[in-house]
Structure 1
Amino acid sequence: MFASHTLYTDRFLLRQFHPNDLASVFKGLSHPDVIRYYGVSYSSLEETHDQLTWFNDLQKNEAGIWWAICDKGNHKFYGAIGFNDLSKIDKKAEIGFWLLPEYWGTGIIKEAANPVCDYAFEKLSLRKIEAMVETENENSKKILRKLGFDYQETMKNCEIKNDRFISLAIYAKLKNDNMT
């Protein structure tokens, strides 16, 4: 079910992570603008190994799958997109994504998310993809709406981040029953 799977869009190659991605993942997950609304951050390359291990373990345990988003031609690293908290019983998973800030606003996530969602519905047989977004993260909420995710509800003061309570908006996309 979770064999390595490469996806392609017009501009991008979405591939599994490998050890050579360590510096790029660290660059993203240590950048203040990226981690402002992201649940994970690292302060050293050594710590960032944990993220690569997490990507690998998710797939090995069939609990999710994440892709590195790269340029189709020169393989330049832009960010990451994928699923975690996959439930085979409930046929759902949570989507997440992040980009290096210099690529924000260029349509990368919108283009990458479509084949990723198709993969979830067609290859993983999911019926629902959820997204948990910090309520202050207007950019991610806007992208999710463009991708056809519907707002479900807000869980108020449900997590503590940086010593303060945060609220999470829940978005969901359901499998279109007309999909093959």
Structure 2
Amino acid sequence: MSSTPAESPWPTTLSTARLLLRPAEATDVKEFTRLWTDPEVRRFLGGPVAEQELPLYQRHFAGRRNAFAVTTRAERTVVGSVLIDPAPRFDDRREVSYGLLPEHWGQGYAREAVAAVVEWAFAHVPSDDPSVIAVTQEANARSCRLLEAIGMRHIDSFVEFGAAQALFSVDRQGLRNGR
């Protein structure tokens, strides 16, 4: 028996063993700007955001519903972001997206943060579909492994933005919290 998620209690903060995920704030602009402009972070996302588009991004990220700044618990250092939004191109299914600054790669932070947000979304982000999805380029092996590690399954492939994309999905029972 499935239940309908309650309306998202926003703003909210999630915690894991090593991380705090809190609403993005205007004081995070430096780190978020790096997430949008770093060539390595944006390698599989179509490249860095164009300089003329940055002011729009910078004005609208803080306080955005279901947009989490991922911070370390101990130092409160912003290491990345995780967002959960309805995806109009996929019938408004809940889609998780994420990015971490390169100096924090390889420590399991992304897996920990994404799993926490997906788990939270099942209870608090309404959807007519019982799953949460994620899209990544098939060439992004690290991202594919992360999604598989939290229990997502590769359910479709398609070409978008000139590159092969992988669509992943997980339902509440399939989620491995990765914490």
- TM-score range relative to shorter protein: 0.7 to 0.9
Moved more, 167-176 or 47-56: 47-56
Q: Is the 8 A contact 1:13 1:69 kept in 2?
A: yes
Structure 1 residue 50: Cα displacement: 2.5
Which of 11, 15, 28 is equivalent to 1:4?
Answer: 11
Structure 1 residue 39: Cα displacement: 5.0
Q: Which residue of 1 aligns with 2:56?
A: 50
Post-superposition CA distance 1:65-93 (Å, at most 9, x none): 11000011221110011212257xx6731
Post-superposition CA distance 1:106-152 (Å, at most 9, x none): 00011112221111111225521111111111110000000100010
Give the TM-score of the pair, scaled to structure 1. 0.80
Structure 1 residue 40: Cα displacement: 6.9
**What residue ranges of structure 1 are gaps of 5+ in the alignment?**
60-64
Which of 14, 17, 21 is equivalent to 2:28?
Answer: 21
- C-alpha distance in 2 between matches for 1:52 and 1:92: 26
Q: CA RMSD in A?
A: 2.3
Structure 1 residue 38: Cα displacement: 2.1
Q: Provide the secondary structure at the position in 2 that maps to 1:35.
A: coil
Q: Is the 8 A contact 1:92 1:129 kept in 2?
A: yes
Q: Which amino acid aligns with 2:142?
A: N
Q: Provide the secondary structure at the position in 2 that maps to 1:34.
A: coil
Q: Which residue of 2 aligns with 1:115?
A: 116
**What residue ranges of structure 2 are gaps of 5+ in the alignment?**
1-6, 175-179
Q: Provide the secondary structure at the position in 2 that maps to 1:33.
A: coil
Structure 1 residue 57: Cα displacement: 7.7
Residue 172 (1) aligns with residue 169 (2): yes
Structure 1 residue 42: Cα displacement: 2.9
Give the TM-score of the pair, scaled to structure 2. 0.81
- C-alpha distance in 2 between matches for 1:49 and 1:39: 19
Q: Which amino acid aligns with 2:57?
A: Q
- C-alpha distance in 2 between matches for 1:111 and 1:96: 13
Residue 134 (1) aligns with residue 137 (2): yes
Residue 105 (1) aligns with residue 102 (2): no
TM superposition outliers: structure 1 runs of 4+ over 6 Å:
none
Percent identical pairs in the alignment equals: 23
> CA 1:173–1:54 in 2, change beyond 3 Å: closer, same or farther?
farther
- C-alpha distance in 1 between matches for 2:35 and 2:164: 23
Q: Which amino acid aligns with 2:145?
A: K
Q: Which has the higher contact order (CA 8 A, sep 6+)?
A: 2
Q: Which amino acid aligns with 2:104?
A: Y
Q: Is the 8 A contact 1:12 1:71 kept in 2?
A: yes
For this pair of structures, how many residues does the alignment match? 163
